[in-house]
A and B are shown apart, each in its own frame.
Chain A
């Protein structure tokens, strides 16, 4: 059974960089797309972007200038960096495995990241 687990700081200061890692277990990270999706408290889902195991990336245009994703196939991990964060970036961040576009079959449990000084 594939499992995903997000990890990283739960508190980030404004203007700094949010960094999260998703560790995949129970299956190989290879040959899939891996996405980050976030959800502010009480609000809807927002796709942040995705990375293929080759390193190829696609980002949400509204966040593209601040987002960097990377993958480490040797560790079965992929990562998210979001720069210049503000309070508006406070959300639960999920990692997910993608098949066809929009088809996320496995999700992490989510991790709350709060942006505050």
Chain B
């Protein structure tokens, strides 16, 4: 059970859109629509931003959207804002009642 692969860093200017990829295998991301995304600011606990691939919890901005194709899930942040600067982690069910997180992506707002 290996960590899902994410780019180490992604950056964009305010107002732009960025996409973070999360690549797994046919045993996790590719087999289940149980991919979630978390935002983590320094020194804080992670915050749920997307669950079940593309669903947004109440209170999360609609600037955040999720999708999946094959073994790769993606998080898109549109209309990038300074407050979006944080670390982002994907998470997927990996079968046999286990869970795996991604390696994490640092988002920088230029």
Contacts and interface: CB of A to CB of B under 8 A. Distances in A.
Interface stretch (A17-25, A67-75, A103-111): A103-111
Given A44-B103, A62-B1, A100-B34, A110 B45 contact: yes
A30 interface: no
Given A44-B3, A61-B1, A62-B1, A103 B48 contact: yes
A102 B34 contact: yes
B89 A58 contact: no
Given A44-B104, A45-B89, A62-B1, A104 B98 contact: no
A62 B38 CA distance: 22
A84 to B, nearest CB: 20
Nearest to B51: A103
Contacts of B3: 44
A34 interface: no
A58 B98 contact: yes
Interface of B: 1, 3, 34-36, 38, 45-48, 51-52, 57, 89, 91-93, 96-104
Given A47-B98, A102-B34, A108-B45, 12 more contacts: A37-B101, A45-B46, A47-B99, A60-B1, A60-B98, A61-B96, A94-B46, A101-B34, A102-B36, A104-B38, A107-B47, A109-B45
28 contacts: A44-B3, A44-B101, A44-B102, A44-B103, A44-B104, A45-B46, A45-B89, A45-B101, A45-B104, A46-B101, A47-B91, A47-B101, A61-B1, A61-B96, A94-B45, A96-B45, A102-B36, A102-B93, A103-B34, A103-B48, A103-B51, A104-B36, A104-B46, A104-B48, A105-B48, A107-B45, A107-B47, A110-B45
